[in-house]
Chain A
Amino acid sequence: MKALVCVKRVIDYNVKPRVKSDGTGVDLANVKMSMNPFDEIAVEEAIRLKEKGVVTEIVAVSVGPQKAQETLRTALAMGADRAILVMSDDEVEPLAVAKIIAGIAGEEAPGLIVTGKQAIDDDSNQVGQMVAALLGRPQGTFANEVSVEGDAVVVKREIDGGLQTVRLALPAVVTTDLRLNEPRYASLPNIMKAKSKPLANKTPADYGVDVAPRLKTLKVTEPPVRSAGIKVPDVDTLVAKLKEMGVA
């Protein structure tokens, strides 16, 4: 079974984003970029399924600028077999990304499509569900545990009150939650090897997808700043304050 893994190049999760003063967006010039943390977990899961003999080939896919190649090389260095970069210099919305991935799935016929549950830049949490809808396939979102059993995949999902287990007919779409696994680091030899693994360059037009945005961003602002607080000297003062607020 082939696995398709979707990865996104995003601002590194340790960087505090800065809003541009003209309100057009977040300043990404000279900011460290990395693979979206949830996508690292997706790549890791595909590799583990390959190590178990369930998955035979891993194709990593990214939609983004030329530089997203670096993100795909990271996926290849972790253990993906080949990569497809769908180039677009403009930001592509989840719906268009989902259509592109559905188009790739049409050509590649993967048994499993694995994506992160959300990208930490737009925080949308949509692509996996949309891919599943477009392909008419089941979805195992917020996966905490994944096991392939014959022609089905059993997914333990993180839900608000706890965990839920569902059985999905293959092919299926799985989106990863934080605790699914601990992604591995790419070793230096593997990073070198990844440079010679195949990476195909495509465009959204190759899949007949119009990437014109449906949502227009009117402005981007800083969140309201909390007014500076005070430090209390001791527990008694804190207790008095809590009593004032009526919670104690």
Chain B
Amino acid sequence: MAKVLVLVEHDNASVKDATLAAITAASQLGEVTALVAGAGCDGAASAAAQIAGVAKVLKADDAALENALAENVAPLVAGLMADYDAFVAPATTTGKNVAPRVAALLDVMQVSDILSVEGPKTFTRPIYAGNAIATVESSDAKLVITVRGTAFAKAEATGGSASVEAVAATADSGLSTFVSAEIAKSERPELTSAKVIVSGGRALKDAATFEQVITPLADKLNAAIGASRAAVDAGYVPNDYQVGQTGKIVAPEVYIAVGISGAIQHLAGMKDSKTIIAINKDEDAPIFQVADLGLVGDLFTLVPELTAKL
């Protein structure tokens, strides 16, 4: 049975949701060992040990691993890979930053953003902004894979009882240092794990209007708020709201696109949503080609009416 090392994304205390999908994908390849690398990460390690399907947890607790700098995490992973057949990371910004560095250190080609496991070395992945799906087979001795979180069911966060084993970090590379982070504060569900998303586009006019129209509807539905690139570029909302090829990939139960035309790059980020609802005044907008339910009309009257009637 293949041995698979999974990079756990965490905030030292708890495990981030994207990891759970990566563990599901990894379980389809073999026995899963979770790697928790951080500084003061006992909480995350014990949380990882409870995830169903995890056989063992490796905990690397070292000041050099704080903030998951790729220059320090990648050599640690590459060193551990002597004992593993595959390295799997969630395709989050952390995973995408670290995994290719690991792949190059191991001299293997990474398989990015997989959608399914088709065989021991065969996977499907989206190319051309999701407009085509490639089935690829690796010929490398070891696999390095990132996993699209929305393509796999999340492993149960409880029910497991893996042992936690401490491993030593490799020495600080001295190449990079963390300066600061600005994390957008939000009481809402996280965009990539929300069940319902209300997303706004350029038609919302400005930041105040966006807030006025979109927020009450999102509040009613306990939804996360997303946006098209146009809305982000125009400064209506912060960058991390962006859904699309260059932003976040989401697949909620319900995605409500308000004033979004449905450009290729935006669809790449949301077209796997279970139900897509579009509200747009242009009945020829491409968004209606993927929407399950479409409402044609002025969003400035329809959205408040919808909010009021919910």
State whether these chains interact. yes
- How far apart are B293's CB and chain A's nearest CB, in angstroms? 6
Q: How far is the CA of A226 from the CA of B273 in the complex (A)?
A: 10
Complex interface: chain A residues within 8 A of B136 (CB): 215-218
Contacting A at CB under 8 A, from B206-258, are 220-221, 229, 232-233, 238-240, 245-246, 248, 253-254
- In contact, B70 and A129 (Cβ under 8 angstroms): yes
Tell me the chain A residues, 202-238 only, with Cβ under 8 Å from chain B.
213-223, 226, 229-232, 234-236, 238
A83 / chain B contacts, CB cutoff of 8 Å = none
Query: In the complex, which residues of chain A have a beta carbon less than 8 angstroms from the beta carbon of B109?
Result: 93-95, 213-215
Given contacts A238-B293, A239-B309, contact A223 B70 (CB under 8 A): no
Give Cα distance in the complex from A144 to B126, angstroms.
25
Interface of B is mostly: mixed
**Min CB distance, A147 to chain B, in Å?**
11
Known A138-B71, A160-B92, A215-B138; contact A154-B288, beta-carbon cutoff 8 A? no
A214-B74 contact given A130-B103, A144-B239, A235-B295, CB 8 Å threshold: no
How many B residues, CB 8 Å from partner? Answer: 89
Q: Which of A132, A178, A241 contacts B101 (CB 8 A)?
A: A132
**A138 touching B93, Cβ below 8 Å:** no
Once A169-B175, A238-B277 are accepted as A-B contacts, the answer to whether A129 and B101 lie under 8 Å apart by CB is: yes
Contact B293 A164, beta carbon cutoff 8 Å = no
Cα A126 to Cα B137 with chains together (Å): 18
Nearest CB of B to A139, in Å: 6
User: How many chain A residues touch B (Cβ–Cβ < 8 Å)?
Assistant: 78
- Bound complex: CA A163 to CA B201 (Å): 22
A226-B271, A230-B292 given; A219·B254 CB < 8 A:
no
A133 and B133 in contact (CB under 8 A), knowing A126-B110, A165-B181, A245-B253? no
* A16 lies within 8 A of B127 (CB): no
Q: Which residues of A lie under 8 Å from residue B288 when comparing CB positions?
A: 229, 231
Evaluate contact between A242 and B128: CB separation under 8 angstroms. Answer: no
Complex: A223 Cα to B132 Cα, angstroms? 6
User: Which chain B residue has the least Cβ–Cβ distance from A11?
Assistant: B128
Task: Flag A14-26 by CB within 8 Å of B: 1 or 0 each.
Answer: 1011010000001
Q: Does A29 contact B (CB under 8 A)?
A: no
Inter-subunit contact B100/A125 (CB<8 Å): yes
B222's nearest neighbour on chain A, judged by CB, is A247
How far does the alpha carbon of A239 sit from the alpha carbon of B256 in the complex, in Å? 12
B16 CB to closest chain A CB, in angstroms?
A: 9
The distance from the CB of A62 to the nearest CB of chain B, in whole angstroms, is 19
Contact (Cβ within 8 A) A122 B127? yes
B302 at the interface (CB under 8 A from A): yes
Q: Is the CB of A231 within 8 A of B310?
A: no
**What per-residue 1/0 map shows which CB atoms of B124-148 lie under 8 Å from chain A?**
0011111111111111100000000
- Across the interface, do B294 and A232 meet the contact criterion of CB distance under 8 Å? yes
Known contacts A139-B70, A222-B133, A247-B196, A16 near B264 by CB under 8 Å: yes
Docked Cα-Cα span, A165 to B69, in Å, equals 11
A61 to B229, CA, bound (A): 29
CA A134 to CA B104, docked complex, whole Å: 6
Contact pick for B292, options A123, A138, A229, CB 8 Å: A229
Which residue of chain A has the shortest Cβ distance to B264 in the bound complex?
A: A16
Q: Say whether B192 faces chain A, with CB atoms less than 8 Å apart.
A: yes
Given A165-B180, A242-B310: A214 and B240 interface contact (C-beta under 8 Å)? no
B182 within 8 A of A: yes
Is there an interface contact between B173 and A142, defined as CB atoms closer than 8 Å? no
Interface string of B267-289 (1 = CB under 8 A from A): 00001000111000001000010
Residues of B contacting A236 in the complex (Cβ-Cβ under 8 angstroms): 309
Chain A residue nearest to B122 (CB atoms) is A218
Within 8 A of B (CB), among A32-61: none
Q: Are A120 and B294 in contact (CB under 8 A)?
A: no
Shortest A110–chain B CB gap in Å is 16
Does residue A189 face the partner (Cβ distance < 8 Å to B)?
no
- A residues near B132, Cβ cutoff 8 Å: 17, 19, 26, 220-223
Enumerate the 10 nearest inter-chain pairs by beta-carbon distance, A residue then B residue, closest first.
A129-B100, A133-B104, A214-B109, A130-B104, A138-B175, A126-B100, A229-B292, A165-B179, A17-B128, A138-B176
**Additional 11 contacts, C-beta under 8 A, given A124-B110, A129-B99, A248-B220:** A98-B104, A120-B128, A133-B103, A162-B238, A167-B176, A218-B122, A218-B137, A231-B295, A239-B309, A242-B277, A247-B195
Could you name 5 residue pairs across A and B whose Cβ atoms are closer than 8 Å? Answer: A94-B110, A154-B179, A223-B131, A226-B290, A239-B306
